[in-house]
Amino acid sequence: MPVLELREVTKVFPGVVANDRVSLTLEEREIVALLGENGAGKSTLMNVVYGLLSADHGEILVDGQPVKIRSSRHAIDLGIGMVHQHFMLVEPLTVTENIILGREPGRMGVIDMNAARKKVAEISERYGLRIDPDARISELEVGLQQRVEILKALYQGARVLILDEPTAVLTPQEVRELFAVVRSLVDEGLSVVFITHKLEEVMAVADRIVVMRDGAVVGEVRPSETDEIGLARLMVGRDVVLRIDKQPVKCGETVLDIRDLSVKSDRNLSAVNGVSFTVCGGEIVAIAGVSGNGQTELVEALVGLRRPESGSITLKGNDITRASARSSIEIGVSHIPEDRHRRGLVLTFNLAENLVLGDHRLKPYATRGIMHPREITSMAKKRIADYDIRTPSEKLIASSLSGGNQQKVVVAREIGRNPELLVAAQPTRGLDVGAIEFVHRQIIAERTSGKAVLLISLELEEVLSLADRILVMYEGRIVKEFSAEQADAETLGYFMTGGGGTKLDKGGADLTMTGSGVGA
Amino acid sequence: MSESREVVPTQRAWMSVVQKIGTPIISTVLAIAVGSFIIWISGYDPAEAFAALFKGAFGGPRQTGETILRSTPLILAGLAVGYGFRAGLFNIGAEGQLMMGGLLVAWLGVQMAGLSSVVTIPTLLVAAALAGAAWAFIPAILKARIGAHEVITTMMFSHIARYIVAWLTAGPIKAPGQIPQTVNLTESAQIPRIQSLFSEGALEALPFLNLGRAHLGILIAIAAAVGVWLVLRYTTLGYENRAVGLSPWAAETAGISVQWTTVKALCISGALAGLAGGIEVMGLQHRIFDQFSAGVGFTGIAVALLAKNHPIGIIAAALLFGALSAGSGTMQLEAGVSQKIILIIQALVIFFVAAEGIVNWFIRKRQKEAASSAE
Ligand SMILES: Nc1ncnc2c1ncn2[C@@H]1O[C@H](COP(=O)(O)OP(=O)(O)OP(=O)(O)O)[C@@H](O)[C@H]1O
Ligand SMILES: [Mg+2]
């Protein structure tokens, strides 16, 4: 008997059938990967199971019993846990406090912290999820925060664990650890639904793969019966080019010239330490590095969001070291921020308003302070069509889009602006393979038309397939420069993790294992 | 991909309007229901009380005029608070900016005696707006430069404004006589009453034009509401204001200066509040005295909250609060219920708007019931 069974679940949003008679089973101790294009309905389906949305039709059975899941609380009571892509932890609280939140042990309002800590320690021991129970969430790395989310679900007694794009924000090492955790959970009797866009992860971890398209299930395979190319085809409905050919680089005039740049972080620590490099027109330069090595601060300084301590930034001969974000945009710098929810979008603005963000005071969208809705709407319609943003209307608010489609909005806006320099941080985070192919083509088209591109990515495969030159950043410095031909994942990984300082085999192995075959 | 999408029609426009005004209407109804209950347990007849209230607010042209009169400054104060909210700012000190607007008008109006009203009235309106904006400017700069919270600073400035008015009307610009107040404005500086536009004959033929003390300031207030709506919808100023209010990080990334937008928003908010005070002086009081505003700036907060900061909704919300205040006298007189019940109802409206979650739950439950009964 399956632990979880969905029968003909249908969920309709205004203008969109997000789930169209979806049936799905999850057996005990099984890992099912849910795969599908951006907007296929994966998150919606899992939110229905977790009680955050209510289905319009269909049945959900837990242990063979039909249930009407009314709330996430109810889902938890039924043994269903979910870890969202955007974590829902309370930052100033400790690990233990977060885990017990809502289910505090003790009596009459007095929390028994000792009992809580003991129980948390017991669970983390049992599943091999090592963590300091007294650490504050704000001090933890993303991978460990995710671990807290998983522990929380386990503490609440989850037997079915839903992970929505858990690997999108993880480093390769963290991905490997997560997989180990997932396997040990299954050994302990849990069942897992795993959503991801990274095909090699699906192949590595899933027992069964369910593919969705346009709200419906279009196929079910086992990893042994297919390969990544086949999966991509099943998902997108056509052949996907996993690595795009490009012409040899023709370097034009220098577009970006950074000299001796030093930048401090929010905590007033030095984050970027005397970095110098150039990017010329027609060239894609990638910055590779493990997150937290100064890339964010470098980008923020470059686009006018952070004052550098010293050094200079020049764009086509203009000094923009202290330029504001506004003049930086006006002078031709586009920026795809790594955090789309915080910096990339105004989530409660509609798509048209989001697509004009940054250009909103320029012709033809505005003249002398008056905005022209007709121009904005027609531009928005065009971008939505060009970038295949899945939405019924440009008037919908951004938060009603699927995660990947939100990302496409940011990419469409920033590339559509036709900049001199494109600064792209994690441009394909959360995108499906088809969308990644498309965005990669757009980035290469920018290069072909003589524009400069600075790519910041944690995905080595993306770096390797796009970049003409690769700069490895470690602890605020550029520690190594490669041309495209010289680089391979292993050597890159070696320098990304601190060069001679750490063991070669470790860094290399970690990084190759997540390097997606499709540059995901 | 598109077939499945075309099956379902997109949401009808009226549905979204219903959703927008659903909470305010339900909140108002709930507030009146709870208010009725309170009236009932106090030993009065709620039906009688509300009948008297309605009579006092809309029972005849004079009563309707009174409602319009009281709504006028509430619209402007509501717009002031609402515009700030749309930038994520809580201008709790609209009362102070309002007083400064009234103060400047009361003084300048007297200085301008003898000039034609064609010059005087527009000048005084501009002066009122500038005085309000100036009074909001310092809190705005403090917020933008050092992050001092506007709730604290505008509140403090509100107190300062009150004492400045009290001091000036008691001494430096006091009119001769016992009462601490300024000299009355001459007619050329007054905003005329609506009924004064019509001849005796017209008023007799069309008695509903006899709107008592209501003055043309209502047109200015409505124009301001439409203006604010247009600004928010069709200008870069309004767009940036909303962007900063909804996500300062995304706004900053898009090259919008959060600090500069904050300053502009608080000053515009202050200008609207100042206008409220100026119009109150020009249209009704014709002079300024210590307590002349009677909390209009604070009721403006309630108006903005009820209207969810929508300029056109603010007109409706202000009319509601104006009517409650206009009718409360009659209610006390005829049904014996204390006027204070109106304050309770106002507070309850705010409570229910703030507790939108409860109301939404109520709506969803109805929708579910409707859906299941339709099956
Ligand atoms: N709250 C909502 N209101 C309206 N439409 C919505 C809402 N949530 C989701 N949708 C729509 O439902 C469809 C499915 O979205 P969902 O988030 O489930 O996709 P997904 O498969 O998780 O995609 P991704 O890989 O991009 O995260 C999309 O077309 C989306 O626009
Ligand atoms: Mg999703």
Q: Give the nearest chain B residue to A331 (CA atoms).
A: B255
pLDDT tens track for A289-348: 887 888 889 999 999 999 999 999 999 999 999 999 999 999 999 999 988 888 999 999
Question: Which residue among B5, B249, B251 places its CB closest to the CB of A392?
Answer: B5
Question: Nearest ligand to the C-alpha of residue A395?
Answer: 1
Give residue limits of the domains in chain A.
Answer: 4-236, 241-332+419-520, 342-417
Kindly state the DSSP code that residue B338 receives in the 8-state scheme: -
Look at residue B326 and tell me if it is in a domain: no
For residue B366, the model assigns a pLDDT of 56
Q: Are residues B120 and B264 in the same domain?
A: yes
Q: Are residues B38 and B169 in the same domain?
A: no
CB < 8 Å to B254, chain A = 325, 329, 357-358, 360
Q: Are residues B263 and B359 in the same domain?
A: no
Block residue for tokens 């962007």? B243
Mean pLDDT by 10 residues, chain B (375 residues): 33 61 82 88 85 88 91 96 94 93 91 84 94 95 90 91 87 78 81 83 81 90 96 95 94 94 96 95 87 85 91 94 89 82 85 72 56 41
Rounded to whole angstroms, the Cα distance separating B330 from B53 reads: 6
Rounded to whole angstroms, the Cα distance separating A474 from A501 reads: 11
Look at residue B328 and tell me if it is in a domain: no
At B298, the amino acid letter reads F
Q: Are residues B265 and B357 in the same domain?
A: no
CB < 8 Å to B257, chain A = 324, 326
Ligand 2 centroid–CA B375 distance in Å is 31
Atom 1 of ligand 1, nearest CA residue: A400
Rounded to whole angstroms, the Cα distance separating B309 from B78 reads: 8
Contact with chain B for residue A343, Cβ under 8 A: yes
Kindly state the DSSP code that residue A294 receives in the 8-state scheme: S
CB < 8 Å to B236, chain A = 360-361, 366, 369-371
For residue B363, the model assigns a pLDDT of 60
Q: Are residues B191 and B306 in the same domain?
A: yes
Q: Are residues B165 and B304 in the same domain?
A: yes
Question: Is A405 a pocket residue for ligand 1 (Cβ < 6 Å)?
Answer: yes
Q: Are residues B167 and B86 in the same domain?
A: yes
Q: Could you give the C-alpha distances from A12 to A214, B4, B17, in angstroms and in order?
A: 12, 10, 20
User: Which residues touch A265 (CB under 8 Å, ≥6 apart)?
Assistant: A271, A297
Shortest Cα distance from B373 to chain A (angstroms)?
14
Q: Are residues B34 and B84 in the same domain?
A: no
Contact with chain B for residue A215, Cβ under 8 A: yes
For residue B358, the model assigns a pLDDT of 63
Q: Give the CATH number of domain A241-332+419-520.
A: 3.40.50.300
**Best probe residue, ligand 1, of A390, A402, A406, A428 (max atoms within 8 Å of C-beta):** A402
Q: Are residues B130 and B269 in the same domain?
A: yes
| Under 8 Å between Cβ of A334 and A414 | yes
Exposure string for B109-137, b = 16+ CB within 10 A, e = fewer: bbebeeeebeebbebbbebbbbbbbbbbb
Ligand 2 centroid–CA A403 distance in Å is 5
Q: Do B251 and A343 touch (CB under 8 A)?
A: no
**Best probe residue, ligand 1, of A9, A10, A11, A13 (max atoms within 8 Å of C-beta):** A13
- Cis amide prior to A364 (ω within 30 degrees): yes
Say how many C-beta atoms besides its own lie within 10 A of residue A512's C-beta. 16
Residues of chain A with pLDDT under 70: 105-109, 242, 500-520
**Best probe residue, ligand 1, of A9, A20, A44 (max atoms within 8 Å of C-beta):** A44
Ligand 2 centroid–CA A411 distance in Å is 17
Alpha-carbon torsion, ordered A53, A55, A61, A67, to 10 deg = 70
Q: Do B237 and A12 touch (CB under 8 A)?
A: no
Residue (of A322, A282, A332) closest to A443 by Cα position: A282
Calculate ∠ Cα B361-B366-B370, nearest 5°: 145
Look at residue B132 and tell me if it is in a domain: yes
The set of long-range contacts for A217-226, using a CB threshold of 8 Å and a minimum separation of 24, is: A217/A22, A217/A23, A217/A24
Q: Do A325 and B253 touch (CB under 8 A)?
A: yes
Calculate ∠ Cα B183-B189-B190, nearest 5°: 90
For residue B251, the model assigns a pLDDT of 95
Q: Are residues B356 and B275 in the same domain?
A: no
Look at residue B171 and tell me if it is in a domain: yes
Contact with chain A for residue B10, Cβ under 8 A: yes
Question: Which residue among B4, B11, B246 places its CB closest to the CB of A215?
Answer: B4
CB < 8 Å to B234, chain A = 370-371, 373
Atom 7 of ligand 1, nearest CA residue: A400
Atom 3 of ligand 1, nearest CA residue: A400
Q: Do B8 and A16 touch (CB under 8 A)?
A: yes
Residue B135 has which token pair? 């009074």
Domains A4-236 and A241-332+419-520 share a fold: yes
Q: Are residues B79 and B224 in the same domain?
A: yes
* Residue that terminates a domain, selected from B259, B291, B311: B311
For residue A1, the model assigns a pLDDT of 82
Look at residue B54 and tell me if it is in a domain: no
Rounded to whole angstroms, the Cα distance separating A462 from A436 reads: 9
For residue A222, the model assigns a pLDDT of 92
Residue A117 has which token pair? 């800590």
| Under 8 Å between Cβ of A321 and A505 | no
Question: Which residue among B11, B234, B255 places its CB closest to the CB of A326?
Answer: B255
CATH class in words for A4-236: alpha beta
| Under 8 Å between Cβ of A92 and A136 | yes
Whole-model pTM?
0.86
Shortest Cα distance from A325 to chain B (angstroms)?
4
Structural domain including B140 reads 71-311
Question: Is A39 a pocket residue for ligand 1 (Cβ < 6 Å)?
Answer: yes
* Angle, in degrees to the nearest 10, between helices B13-41 and B311-335: 20
Q: Are residues B265 and B365 in the same domain?
A: no
Could you give the 3-state DSSP secondary structure of residue A12? strand
Question: Is A196 a pocket residue for ligand 1 (Cβ < 6 Å)?
Answer: no
Atom 2 of ligand 1, nearest CA residue: A400
* Domain count across chain B: 2
| Under 8 Å between Cβ of B265 and B84 | yes
For every residue of A214-255, which 3-state class applies, written as one string? CCEEEEEECHHHCCHHHHHHHHHCCCCCCCCCCCCCCCCCEE
For residue B240, the model assigns a pLDDT of 96
